[in-house]
Amino acid sequence: ADYYQLGFNLRSNIFQGGPLESRSLMKDSYTPDVIQKAIRDPKNWHGRRTDDLGRWHQKNALNLNLQKAFEEKYG
């Protein structure tokens, strides 16, 4: 019975999704000049430094994407 009721609700568009305009707590909390002056350091992520394993995973993901692009282009 619950399964059919869920299907009916989905077909009736009762679950209409999230808001069309997204909001950010940081943008709501600070003025625009503070956000523009914020320094983004990729090696220091939320106070945590990127270690060798993280850099290896990043390079590995780039390598896999490169291999996939070569295979698509050259077969």
- pLDDT tens, residue by residue, 21-64: 777 787 778 888 877 777 777 777 676 777 788 888 889 999 99
For residue 15, what pLDDT is reported? 62
For residue 69, what pLDDT is reported? 94
Distance CA 32, CA 40 (A): 15
Q: Please, which residues have CB within 8 angstroms of residue 42's CB and are 6 or more apart in sequence?
A: 50
For residue 14, what pLDDT is reported? 64
**At CA 73, angle to CA 70 and CA 75, rounded to 5?**
80
Distance CA 47, CA 8 (A): 47
Residue 72: is its pLDDT beyond 90? yes
Question: Per the structure block, which two tokens stand in for 5?
Answer: 């009721």
| Domain extents in the chain | 49-74
Question: Per the structure block, which two tokens stand in for 4?
Answer: 């059919």
For residue 19, what pLDDT is reported? 66
Higher pLDDT, 30 or 73: 73
